[in-house]
Structure 1
Amino acid sequence: SRNVVFTIVSQSEPYHASVAKRLKQDIENQVLQLENRYPKTHITHEDFPVAGAWTILPLLAPLTSRYKRSEVRWVLFVETHTAVRCDKLIEALAAADKQEDVMWIGYPLSDEEPTIIHHFTFYEELEEEGGFTYPNFASGFAMRIELIEILLKQIESGHRRLEADFSIDPAYELAQLVYGGGSDPGPLLTPDLSFCIVSGDNCATYPRQFGVCGSAIPEDSIFFAVKTWSGFHQTRARVVKKTWGRHVSHLQFFSDKDDPTLPAISTGIPNSKTGHCAKTMAILRMVLKRIEHMPHIKWIFLADDDTILGVQRLCEVLSCYRGGDDVTVLGERYGYGYGKKETAAK
């Protein structure tokens, strides 16, 4: 493990911070038993408190600054819910070390067809090589520090930058950045099935299930606000009401027009391609005013009219966030500008 840096991509929110701390302790205890020494282990929100650490790119500069010209050859990135078996991991990295052309390893994901979340990008020229692959972040992945240094120089020089300014799927976008394409492509991810998606005897890593922290929170402590449009009142909105909407106590649709049959109320924001943020803020303001005299409401759940939801599972997940920060925001993360040299290479 002398050649490995364990990097736990974490968040400062109390629940996630506690899970990250337990994972760090587990890794340290394993290596202590194996080698009678402590490994190099980092919790990112404590050791590298940079914006956008979840995209990995802002972590590259501080990691190389700390470990270049050291004995470190690999950086392992894991999420807080990633299980790590250090003996198997050290074996996997030792095997990869013997192959000079292997620059980064992990569990490979790939697209069977162009998808909207990846901006419909598809690498047909790689089909004979097995297609364009990117790592499953929940299983962890490892990069040679040599590759990280090369990537930082390319970003600094302007030879590499994200295809889009927005970060939506950081695993895919990182793989895009490394590969680059064109006349000087970088290395593709090398599939390594010791990085697993479910636990197995030969797994070095695998994602743990998101557990429950005690009993689920009461469903009626959540106000469900659904963003819709008058053109979908008779279709999408009706489906919501017939499916998961049947299982909630406080459901309100917010639209560009009033419709008492749903019920839907107008936000006063016209429907347009660029009005999503304004509509979201208007909905939050309206909901906050609505629940002023509903002290039992502890959460606001904002959904689109095509959101698929398991209400019971949501209540179980939210059980882990009792008594944390006064304002806790949960959801899918989107970022902006993390692939620029001002962010990634500084």
Structure 2
Amino acid sequence: MVGYVDMITSVSLLFLYVLTSNFAFAKTFDTKLSDVIMVVVSQPNPYHAGRARELQLDLKDQIKGLGTNKPTVYLTHKKWPNKMGLWTIFPLLEKLQETSSVTKWVLVCEEETRVDLGKLQTFLQQYDPLEDWFIGHGLEDKEATIIHHFAPPNKLKFPDFAAGFILSFPLINRMLSRWPDEENFRADFTIDPKHELASYILMDDVKLTHAPELCLAEQGDHCVSYIKQKFPQCGEAIPDDDLFVAVKTCEKFHTERVPVVLDTWAKETGHIEFYSETADSSIPTIDLGVPNTERGHCGKTIALMKRAVTEEHIRDRKWLLVADDDTLINIPRLRQLLACYDASSPVALGERYGYQVAKGQGYEYITGGGGMVFSMPMVRRLVDQCTCPQNDSPDDMILGMCLRRLNIPITHVPYLHQARPDDYSDGFLSRHIPVSFHKHWNCDPRAVYRLLKSYDGVESRGDHSKQTHVEL
């Protein structure tokens, strides 16, 4: 009889546990759209500002009829036009903390993000806004990579910003209570802000909550957000005659790297020159009168820019691409990209890095390996205003300092890449079409070039890397 009673008691307790568990699972929180600040990390360049404005108008159409239940929407280049480094997120969070005392959630996204506001409100109601939440579409490394300082792979999920990511305000306040944490977090260089943000938040023992509802692909029924386009569509590509290509090399790479360029992407343009410290008629290369340096190459870069604005066959072109001899470029795709920009204004395009910008100071710069692209008016400004402290000063950083003094912002494009395909997560590469990759080490560069030519997503990635790892 006792055994029977114990069994009934156990069954009752199990039934009660199931009921309470289901109740907890079904619990929702009273979150409204008015509890949300949406921040679009936007840029002042007219093309990018226009894309951000298109997102803003899409949100306004959804907001019609919502009354007071609507999110606050900011475009960073409009709301805080003079604040440095908002794209690194940390200075942005400081500004948001100043502007709001009642907001529960912050959703940060990019100009190509599209958000379904009705689904967003329903999605957020499953999370307690009084707790620490970091929510996004999780990416992760498959191997240790240079862009993440060779952090152990598969140890950290980080969000794709273009799908949007969400922070609760308690977490923001906790983050900022110790920012910057000089002893435990490297904040001098910003290379990949999504990875660096996740690394900092993990110091508070908060991991990214992966949300597939924040989508990388085109819009689906389950998607709270999605990415509008994989590559800009701005009409016909610029003519080949509008683009001049300058490749930096040196004598020791005349037989190693230069042949790869000549066999691959150099064939895609009729206007290309190779600059070295040694004139080699077999390539040919041009001696700029600047000795080779092991690193930096500022003297060589400024010299080739001076040549570009003085030589008759170059100066009337509209765009200058400065590339390394181990850069791999899809020139037709670059010409398609440049159709989005005004070559008559000073424009500097590339993959944006930053020095001290996470602290709201310092300067941004185009990292050189992925290719630096300048309109000719921009080249003339740089030649007039820029000098190299030394020939081996870092050219990309010196140019960034010059642009900062000229008050001309870097225009970041997510299609030019400082590293190899294997240095980026599959998810990140799946959501856009690349224009360039960089580095010949530990890979077959011709295979990477073939990948670049045929790229339509991660499914196109071939066996282009060796399995061994080489430290830099």
Q: TM-score range by the shorter chain?
A: 0.7 to 0.9
Q: Which of 320, 326, 340 is the matching residue for 1:300?
A: 320
Asked if residue 105 in structure 1 is aligned to residue 135 in structure 2, the reply is yes
Task: Report the equivalent of 1:317.
Answer: 337
Task: Report the equivalent of 1:191.
Answer: 210
Aligned to 1:320, the other structure's residue is in SS state: coil
Confirm or deny: 8 A CA contact 1:78 1:139 kept in the other structure. yes
**Cα separation, partners in 2 of 1:291 and 1:304, compared to 1, 3 Å:** farther
Q: Distance in 1 between matches of 2:57 and 2:184?
A: 36
Q: Which of 315, 322, 337 is the matching residue for 2:356?
A: 337
Task: Report the equivalent of 2:34.
Answer: 2
Task: Report the equivalent of 1:165.
Answer: 188
TM-score, normalised with respect to structure 1: 0.87
Mind listing any 5+ residue stretches in structure 2 that lack a counterpart? 1-32, 363-472
Q: Distance in 2 between matches of 1:311 and 1:26?
A: 33
Aligned AA (1:106) = G
Confirm or deny: 8 A CA contact 2:214 2:223 kept in the other structure. yes
Task: Decide which moves more: 326-335 or 278-287.
Answer: 278-287
Q: Distance in 1 between matches of 2:360 and 2:265?
A: 44
Task: Report the equivalent of 1:228.
Answer: 249
Q: Distance in 1 between matches of 2:213 and 2:241?
A: 43
Q: Distance in 2 between matches of 1:299 and 1:7?
A: 32
Q: Which of 129, 145, 148 is the matching residue for 1:118?
A: 148
Output aligned runs, 1:172-187, within 5 Å: 172-180=195-203, 185-187=204-206
Please report how far the alpha carbon of residue 271 of structure 1 lies from its aligned counterpart in structure 2 after TM superposition.
3.5
Task: Report the equivalent of 1:218.
Answer: 239
Asked if residue 17 in structure 1 is aligned to residue 49 in structure 2, the reply is yes
Aligned AA (1:329) = A
TM-score, normalised with respect to structure 2: 0.65
Aligned AA (2:163) = S
Confirm or deny: 8 A CA contact 2:35 2:71 kept in the other structure. no
Aligned to 2:349, the other structure's residue is in SS state: coil
Q: Which of 81, 94, 98 is the matching residue for 1:61?
A: 94
Task: Report the equivalent of 1:52.
Answer: 85
Task: Report the equivalent of 2:173.
Answer: 149
Please report how far the alpha carbon of residue 148 of structure 1 lies from its aligned counterpart in structure 2 after TM superposition.
1.4
Aligned AA (2:213) = S
Asked if residue 132 in structure 1 is aligned to residue 156 in structure 2, the reply is yes
Confirm or deny: 8 A CA contact 1:102 1:190 kept in the other structure. no
What do residues 272-322 of structure 1 show as CA deviations (whole Å, max 9, x unaligned)?
344233433333222222357642x10001111122211111111111113
Share of identical aligned residues, percent? 38
Aligned to 1:339, the other structure's residue is in SS state: helix
Please report how far the alpha carbon of residue 51 of structure 1 lies from its aligned counterpart in structure 2 after TM superposition.
1.1
Confirm or deny: 8 A CA contact 1:162 1:339 kept in the other structure. no
Please report how far the alpha carbon of residue 234 of structure 1 lies from its aligned counterpart in structure 2 after TM superposition.
1.3
Aligned AA (2:211) = D
Asked if residue 206 in structure 1 is aligned to residue 226 in structure 2, the reply is yes
Confirm or deny: 8 A CA contact 1:154 1:160 kept in the other structure. no
Please report how far the alpha carbon of residue 342 of structure 1 lies from its aligned counterpart in structure 2 after TM superposition.
7.0
Aligned AA (1:286) = R
Confirm or deny: 8 A CA contact 1:96 1:102 kept in the other structure. no
Q: How many residues align?
A: 327
Aligned to 1:96, the other structure's residue is in SS state: coil
**Cα separation, partners in 2 of 1:3 and 1:273, compared to 1, 3 Å:** farther
Confirm or deny: 8 A CA contact 1:28 1:38 kept in the other structure. no
Higher relative contact order (CA 8 A, sep 6+): 1
**Cα separation, partners in 2 of 1:64 and 1:321, compared to 1, 3 Å:** same
Mind listing any 5+ residue stretches in structure 1 that lack a counterpart? none
